[in-house]
């Protein structure tokens, strides 16, 4: 592979990769040959990225070293500090994902001053499909208005033509870290988790599946308020679903999400529905209460994860050994059964909605009979 990858070459690689990863696996080879127009080296480079994309974690953790170095050089976020985007001025770097870079910024025009987060689409993933995905995320955020979901404030294009979205800047810790730092007991953790359920249930009611629910996407502010973040791989359901039609059971982009929290149907490349989010929420709560995976040891091997989810039953939460014996004793049979129902391998055997899951948790807290 050519180690001297120019920014222009990298942009072409990423554009073709973005198109290929959206295509069915059976059609990728034909697409690469057609779009590469005889450039065999380009095909090899994109195939290398596709192979890396099959591994869990961020794509840049897996790509060949020369492409990784080039990507990092092209995406020198710190060079943008001080840049103005609309009424906002970038003052720091918050992070980066597969689609965009996230900056801390301030609005300092003559209207008012406020700190915000701005997500700007990465120039090195430009292309019609990538831009459409970014626009879909922005449209999803614009449609959601809930106290437990980070709010969209603004959006548009930079002077260079890159789409961006301005978000509420959330100052908080991931829900698991917050719970441990405040030594929350089992019931307090469940009560906090119900805020997450409220946010996800609201998204579902507005025809949005999150598809990447995990503690790092669930922040808790100092006053104990949950904020759900990162709808970057969320999926809009078929608009006809509002009229009672079957939802668009979209095929997941497994490699864009976090394997640890993926449902069996996501790992196997199956259809994604709202009950896929129910499963992921079950994993989040399981970890929140036990500090461990429902299946014991963690692995970064996608094939091994698929085998575990297919063949292994989750350990009952009350049987998981933790360093917090008092918290372990607080997990009773009802809570065991609730979590195991959310984690059932067959989607049709889980709670049929996040609200149903939440209702059972509320019944548990209230000492009432549970459905599970």
Q: Is the pLDDT of residue 129 over 90?
A: no
DSSP string across 308-331: HHHH-PPPPGGGS--S-HHHHHT-
Q: If phi over 0 gives left and psi between -120 and 50 gives alpha, with beta otherwise, what is residue 211? A: left
Say which DSSP state 149 is in. Answer: B
Chain-centroid distance of CA 79 in Å reads 27
Q: How far apart are CA 213 and CA 276, in angstroms?
A: 10
- The runs of H, that is alpha helices, within 86-162 are 128-143
Q: Is 212 a catalytic residue?
A: yes
Give the model confidence (pLDDT) of 311-341 as tens digits: 888 999 999 887 666 676 789 999 999 999 9
Q: How far apart are CA 68 and CA 86, in angstroms?
A: 31
What mean pLDDT is predicted for residues 128-133? Answer: 76
Give the model confidence (pLDDT) of 221-244 as tens digits: 999 999 998 776 666 665 443 333
Q: How far apart are CA 284 and CA 292, in angstroms?
A: 10
Q: Is the pLDDT of residue 132 over 70?
A: yes
Q: How far apart are CA 159 and CA 82, in angstroms?
A: 14
What mean pLDDT is predicted for residues 240-267? Answer: 54
Q: Exactly one of 124, 176, 212, 360 is catalytic; which is it?
A: 212
Contact 245, 238 (CB under 8 A): yes
Instruction: Report residue 263: phi and psi, to 5°.
Output: -75, 160
Torsion angle in degrees (nearest 10) through CA of 304, 307, 308, 309: 120
pTM higher than 0.75: no
Instruction: Collapse the DSSP code of 191 into the 3-class scheme (helix H, G, I; strand E, B; otherwise coil) and give the result.
Output: helix
Pairing of strands 100-108, 113-121: antiparallel
Instruction: Collapse the DSSP code of 190 into the 3-class scheme (helix H, G, I; strand E, B; otherwise coil) and give the result.
Output: helix
Q: For residue 295, what pLDDT is reported?
A: 86
Give the model confidence (pLDDT) of 140-191 as tens digits: 888 899 999 999 899 898 888 888 989 999 999 999 999 999 999 999 999 9
User: Whose CA is closest to 295, among 310, 272, 313, 322?
Assistant: 313
Pairing of strands 271-272, 163-168: unpaired
What residues form DSSP beta bridges with 271? Answer: 251
Neighbours of 11 (CB within 10 A): 17
Instruction: Report residue 100: phi and psi, to 5°.
Output: -155, 165
Is the dihedral angle over the CA atoms 113, 117, 122, 128 positive or is it negative? negative
């Amino acid at each position: 592979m050519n180690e001297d990858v120019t920014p222009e070459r990298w942009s072409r690689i990423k554009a073709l990769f973005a198109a290929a990863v959206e295509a069915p696996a059976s059609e990728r080879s034909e697409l690469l040959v057609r779009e590469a127009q005889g450039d065999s080296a380009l095909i090899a480079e994109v195939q290398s990225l596709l192979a890396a994309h099959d591994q869990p974690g961020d794509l840049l953790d897996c790509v060949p070293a020369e492409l990784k170095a080039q990507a990092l050089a092209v995406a020198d976020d710190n060079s943008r500090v001080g840049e103005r985007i609309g009424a906002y001025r970038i003052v720091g770097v918050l992070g980066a994902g597969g689609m965009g870079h996230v900056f801390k910024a301030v609005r300092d025009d003559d209207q008012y001053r406020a700190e915000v987060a701005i997500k700007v689409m990465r120039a090195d993933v430009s292309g019609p499909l990538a831009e459409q995905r970014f626009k879909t995320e922005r449209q999803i955020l614009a449609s959601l208005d809930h106290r437990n979901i980070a709010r969209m404030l603004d959006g548009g294009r930079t002077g260079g033509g890159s789409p961006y979205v301005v978000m509420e800047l959330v100052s908080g810790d991931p829900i698991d870290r917050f719970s441990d730092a405040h030594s929350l007991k089992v019931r307090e953790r469940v009560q906090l988790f119900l805020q997450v359920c409220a946010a996800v249930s609201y998204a579902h009611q507005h025809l949005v599946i999150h598809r990447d629910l995990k503690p790092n996407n669930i922040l808790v502010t100092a006053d104990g308020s949950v904020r759900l973040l990162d709808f970057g791989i969320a999926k809009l359901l078929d608009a006809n679903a509002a009229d009672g039609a079957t939802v668009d059971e979209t095929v997941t982009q497994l490699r864009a999400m976090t394997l640890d929290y993926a449902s069996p149907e996501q790992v196997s490349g199956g259809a994604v529905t709202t009950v896929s989010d129910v499963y992921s929420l079950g994993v989040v709560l399981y970890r929140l209460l036990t500090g461990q995976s429902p299946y014991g040891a963690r692995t970064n091997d996608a094939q091994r994860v698929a085998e575990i989810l297919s063949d292994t039953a989750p350990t009952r939460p009350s049987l998981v050994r933790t360093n917090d014996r008092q918290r372990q004793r607080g997990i009773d049979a009802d809570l065991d059964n609730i979590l195991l129902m959310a984690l059932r391998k067959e989607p049709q055997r889980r709670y049929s909605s996040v609200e149903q899951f939440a209702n059972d948790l509320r019944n548990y807290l209230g000492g009432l009979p549970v459905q599970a």
